[in-house]
Chains A and B, each alone.
Chain A
């Protein structure tokens, strides 16, 4: 099965059809998507600002990571679920939209990076990671997450 035929199938599911047929479902789901955007942004930024050296220096990075993790995971789940719902309502259009593929690539990179390198840097014992590399990890994290956001916003413009 090709990717396009899979996308077509998604669009023709009853969920996709219901969202397309409804006047308010799409905006409502989109609102949840946006609210979760704010929360995930905050959770990611708190850790990254700390890694970049902008505050919370008395808190170990690992503690901030653990404090923000439930919010990060929770909002990421809301993002993924609401995003998939939005996707099913217009999957074929998205297939032909470059911004969608930019977003998916950045998203994949962001998730991979967050739960491997970024996590390792954040949870490492103090002094184990050189400041330069923690800052690089923070910058890369901010950069690829921003890629997801910009790609997402750009899906709305065609």
Chain B
């Protein structure tokens, strides 16, 4: 894996992006600001699942309306995130916060999968409830906690307190 990152780092475009005056900052800014679109709307969704906001709006409608935007935001996040990794592969790969972030991302994905395979299937029964059933609230809560972890870990990638030498 490290060898792969080292190879990645030696490619022409990785060097170009790393050394660019505008490219890297622009990609990074898009990554951070898409946080509003992707995570901001996911938070609203999770808060609805927790039963603390938009209580008069059916859950299905909140999901239906916000999901397309969060998916679009997520795609932008993944693309810009990959580019940021591509610009600095070795250092990022060795960074403990980056690994934490990936682990949290995996768990967040798992949480979404579990939600969709279980309580989501019975949504018709609790769609109009101001406060959804426990399993749905649990999914919303776990999601909020994991994404908070992902944001914090992501921010911390910039710091190299625990970096091992490559």
Contacts and interface: CB of A to CB of B under 8 A. Distances in A.
Interface of A: 23, 27, 30-31, 34-35, 37-46, 49, 54-56, 58-59, 63-64, 67-68, 70-71, 145-146, 149-150, 153-154, 157
B43 A42 contact: yes
Interface residues of B, number: 34
A contact face: mostly helix, strand, loop, or mixed: helix
A38 B161 contact: no
Nearest to A28: B152
B contact face: mostly helix, strand, loop, or mixed: helix
Contacts of A154: 25, 29
B53 A37 contact: no
Contact of A67 (B36, B54, B147, B148): B54
30 contacts: A23-B161, A27-B158, A31-B152, A31-B155, A34-B151, A35-B151, A37-B35, A37-B36, A38-B40, A38-B147, A38-B151, A39-B43, A41-B36, A41-B41, A42-B36, A42-B40, A42-B42, A42-B43, A44-B40, A45-B37, A49-B69, A55-B61, A56-B65, A58-B61, A59-B57, A67-B56, A149-B32, A150-B29, A150-B33, A153-B28
Interface of B: 25, 28-29, 32-33, 35-37, 39-44, 47, 53-57, 61, 64-66, 69, 147-148, 151-152, 155-156, 158-159, 161
Contact of B56 (A23, A38, A59, A150): A59
Nearest to B64: A55
Contacts of B147: 38
A41 B53 CA distance: 15
A65 to B, nearest CB: 11
Contacts of A146: 33
Nearest to B29: A153
B25 A149 contact: no
B161 A45 contact: no
Contacts of B65: 49, 54-56
A149 B36 contact: yes
Contacts of B43: 38-39, 42, 71
